[in-house]
Chain A
Amino acid sequence: MEPDASQQLAMYKKMVTSRQYEDAIQGAYFEGKLPNFNMANGPIPGEMHLSSGQEPCAAGVCAHLTNDDYVSATHRAHHIAIAKGVDLERMTAEIFGRVSGLSGGRGGHMHLFDTNVNFMSSGIVGEGIAPAVGAALSFQMRGLPHVAVAFIGEGAANQGAFHESLNLAGLWKVPFVCIIEDNSYGISVDKKRSTAVPRNDVRAAGYNMPGIYIENNDPLSIYAAAGEAIDRARKGGGPSLIEIETFRLTGHFTGDPETYRPEGEKESITKRDALPLMRERMIKNDVAAVADIEAAEQSASETVARAIAFARAAPEPAPEEALNMVFV
């Protein structure tokens, strides 16, 4: 399954939007926190986990999804939210803790819910897998042609919830796909020191589903593999597991000094950044004209600027608003 020219450009545009978004959030996040980085300060308090480098995973998978398809994401969710079509203005307002945010500022960056596009994220590692299996179960029980996708990090594949959920999915043959973004780190611990097998795709065998590993963070291979798995799930062919080699180009959290990385690693993964590589390839293969690419980049930066401006202009919630919405 090869994405055609317009699909490639569309994926690139999602990826660029996502990268520019993370850059903008990073800038806003550091406001008021420096020189003595203190997480409590600035317009965006708390932890911040950016996805720069991992855009192909989100863009390549979500290219096959409709608004009805369900996605659960992790603490590192912005690229997935953008690729899934989450309302970026309301998402940004949420990250800034404003009333116009997705939850009115109750959840923040780690708890993004957009029910219009069936998207959720959460802060506990491995927590989103079972809900995605449950969403898939609902689609199956109701005879709907939708699929559910759980995005997780490679670190989450060592959680009990991963194994229990994949067994359920394999047992019930629900329309579910698990995407593992293998950026080779869970905070400071690299995969070799946390995982008994080098690649998690082999674990799929234990749950009677196909498992594949995609090397090199390549948007086109991701698109192809995800397309096949999602298609199969949609047609009643059951779940799949896909692990993607990807690169986290920033810290685990914003402000992370990244002392755990071996020397030279940052430079070498930056050289493998999928964004410039995809851009070059599209030009070289005549997939898109430079003007079209630049137009996509321009439109991405306008989208991001609008979202940030929307968030900054939105009012802060009234304190007592905290008491509402515990129950509906």
Chain B
Amino acid sequence: MTKTTNARKLTISKAMAEALGEAMDSDERVFLMGEDIGKLGGAFGNTAGLYDRFGAKRVRDTPISETGFIGAAVGAAACGMRPVVELMFVDFFGVCMDAIYNLAAKNAYFSGGAQPVPMVLMSAIGGGYGDAGQHSQTLYGTFAHLPGMKVVAPSNAYDAKGLMHAAIKDDNPVIYLFHKALHGLAWLGTTPGSITHTPAEPYEVPLGKAAVLREGSDVTIVGLSWPVHLALAAAEDLAGQGVSAEVIDLRSLVPLDKECVLNSVRKTGRLVVVDDDYQSFGVTGEIIAIAANEAFGSLKAAPQRVAHPDIPVPFARPMEQFALPNKDKIVASVHATL
């Protein structure tokens, strides 16, 4: 690898588009469907340039018919294709959930493994910019709760590209959730830490492998996607206060890298889970339950969590900011474990 390649930094959006292009180059079966993904290159730029490269046959603008085209992806996947579909905002899952959780997620099981569903559904998650309650949710806990789908949510461009390749290669349906606050689009603002070195050649980041982003000895902070950056900022603050925090990026919820979390909790004895999803019955509760079950003896304090209160995402800025996870809430939660 040359030095210039090493220095190459991409946004998550560009990394996703690059992975899609490489996958389409190397595998004829890969094709794309979604709203405004053609000439426009996607509402979030994930398919930029691909229409010009691969044409309207493989980069298919769809009508606003999510039940139709996502259900069609399941059928295409059953019959020799490897579709990647875009659901513009994850909040729109309501109109097409049957195709997702009753077809894509269950056909392998119902067919005794004879009919796998190798498809990827990519969708935008997250708020913080005043887009209100039908355009700001994350909902990954919901997808992870329902059996049969893999669920990934990258926190940076390197992972975004590698996870996309792994998702497309996987013979199971993969829900690929990219966070708007990390996406590298000027009109939404971008967390700088999401723009990372990204090799120009294809590579995979395996599904189900968490990353320890910062080592520490006093407390384990677990998250994925955007909250990981909040956790890193909190860890920095905590370091100044003499608290050594370990930060884990789960990268995927299904499969879940339990061992990575448990090893860390066994070392630190303290756990804070950060989520950008509704608190109850979700990711934070699941991770804490795993720690309670399997590392109970190591826990020195009750695990804490930072997540959305159980309310729809409010529009007005003071209310939305109140509901969102942030660095200070994480620091306070860590202190509650000390």
Residues of A within 8 A of B (CB): 36-40, 44-47, 97-98, 101, 104-111, 122-127, 155-156, 158-161, 186-189, 193-195, 255, 259-260, 316-323, 326
Q: How far is the CA of A193 from the CA of B35 in the complex (A)?
A: 11
Known contacts A106-B314, A186-B35; A155 and B64 CB within 8 A of each other: yes
Q: Are A125 and B130 in contact (CB under 8 A)?
A: no
A326's partner among B312, B316, B318, B321 (CB-CB below 8 A) is B312
For B92, what are the chain A residues with a Cβ–Cβ distance below 8 Å?
124-125
Q: How far is the CA of A103 from the CA of B39 in the complex (A)?
A: 38
Bitwise, B291-328 to A at CB < 8 A (1) or not (0) is 00000000000000000011110111111111100000
When C-beta atoms are compared, the residue in chain A nearest to B310 turns out to be: A326
Known contacts A105-B315, A188-B40; A46 and B132 CB within 8 A of each other: yes
Q: Are A160 and B134 in contact (CB under 8 A)?
A: no
A-B contact pairs, 25 of them (CB 8 A): A44-B130, A45-B129, A45-B130, A97-B130, A98-B316, A106-B312, A106-B319, A107-B132, A108-B131, A108-B315, A110-B132, A123-B132, A123-B135, A126-B95, A158-B65, A158-B68, A159-B66, A260-B40, A319-B318, A319-B319, A322-B311, A322-B323, A323-B309, A326-B310, A326-B312
Among B181-189, B243-251, B256-264, the stretch in contact with A:
B181-189
Within 8 A of A (CB), among B49-70: 61-68
For B317, what are the chain A residues with a Cβ–Cβ distance below 8 Å?
45, 97, 316
Asked if B22 is an interface residue, CB under 8 A from chain A, the answer is no
A124's partner among B95, B130, B187, B323 (CB-CB below 8 A) is B95
Asked if B112 is an interface residue, CB under 8 A from chain A, the answer is no
Asked if B72 is an interface residue, CB under 8 A from chain A, the answer is no
**A215 shortest CB reach to chain B, Å:** 23
Q: How far is the CA of A126 from the CA of B66 in the complex (A)?
A: 11
A46's partner among B36, B61, B94, B315 (CB-CB below 8 A) is B315
Q: Are A39 and B315 in contact (CB under 8 A)?
A: no
Asked if B83 is an interface residue, CB under 8 A from chain A, the answer is no
When C-beta atoms are compared, the residue in chain B nearest to A40 turns out to be: B129
Known contacts A187-B43, A189-B36; A122 and B135 CB within 8 A of each other: no
B134's partner among A40, A111, A158 (CB-CB below 8 A) is A111
For B135, what are the chain A residues with a Cβ–Cβ distance below 8 Å?
46-47, 110, 123
Asked if B192 is an interface residue, CB under 8 A from chain A, the answer is no
For B315, what are the chain A residues with a Cβ–Cβ distance below 8 Å?
46, 97, 105-109, 111
Q: Are B63 and A38 in contact (CB under 8 A)?
A: no
**B248 shortest CB reach to chain A, Å:** 28
**B214 shortest CB reach to chain A, Å:** 27
Q: How far is the CA of A195 from the CA of B323 in the complex (A)?
A: 40
Q: How far is the CA of A302 from the CA of B68 in the complex (A)?
A: 47
Q: Are B95 and A159 in contact (CB under 8 A)?
A: yes
When C-beta atoms are compared, the residue in chain B nearest to A106 turns out to be: B314
Q: Are A40 and B128 in contact (CB under 8 A)?
A: yes
Q: Are A316 and B39 in contact (CB under 8 A)?
A: no
Q: How far is the CA of A75 from the CA of B95 in the complex (A)?
A: 16
A158's partner among B38, B64, B186 (CB-CB below 8 A) is B64
Q: How far is the CA of A306 from the CA of B239 in the complex (A)?
A: 52
Work out how many contacts link A and B, with CB atoms closer than 8 A: 148
A187's partner among B35, B187, B189 (CB-CB below 8 A) is B35
Q: Are A46 and B64 in contact (CB under 8 A)?
A: no
Task: Other than A46-B135, A122-B134, A186-B63, give 8 A-B pairs with Cβ distance below 8 A.
Answer: A39-B129, A45-B129, A47-B131, A97-B315, A108-B130, A123-B135, A188-B38, A318-B318
A111's partner among B132, B310, B321 (CB-CB below 8 A) is B132
For A255, what are the chain B residues with a Cβ–Cβ distance below 8 Å?
187
Asked if B204 is an interface residue, CB under 8 A from chain A, the answer is no
Q: Are A110 and B134 in contact (CB under 8 A)?
A: yes
Q: Are A189 and B35 in contact (CB under 8 A)?
A: yes
Asked if B133 is an interface residue, CB under 8 A from chain A, the answer is yes
B316's partner among A106, A127, A194, A323 (CB-CB below 8 A) is A106
Known contacts A105-B316, A122-B134, A316-B318; A195 and B63 CB within 8 A of each other: yes
Q: Are B128 and A322 in contact (CB under 8 A)?
A: no
Q: Are A108 and B132 in contact (CB under 8 A)?
A: yes
Q: Are B94 and A124 in contact (CB under 8 A)?
A: yes
For A106, what are the chain B residues with a Cβ–Cβ distance below 8 Å?
133, 312, 314-316, 319
Q: How far is the CA of A123 from the CA of B319 in the complex (A)?
A: 19
Q: Are B319 and A317 in contact (CB under 8 A)?
A: yes
Q: Are B134 and A124 in contact (CB under 8 A)?
A: yes
Q: How far is the CA of A104 from the CA of B315 in the complex (A)?
A: 10
For B134, what are the chain A residues with a Cβ–Cβ distance below 8 Å?
110-111, 122-124
A-B residue pairs, 8 tightest by C-beta: A45-B130, A108-B315, A105-B316, A97-B316, A319-B322, A46-B130, A40-B129, A322-B319
Q: How far is the CA of A225 from the CA of B315 in the complex (A)?
A: 37
When C-beta atoms are compared, the residue in chain B nearest to A97 turns out to be: B316
Q: Are B40 and A259 in contact (CB under 8 A)?
A: yes
For B189, what are the chain A residues with a Cβ–Cβ distance below 8 Å?
38, 40
Asked if B91 is an interface residue, CB under 8 A from chain A, the answer is yes
Q: How far is the CA of A159 from the CA of B67 in the complex (A)?
A: 8
Q: Are A111 and B133 in contact (CB under 8 A)?
A: yes
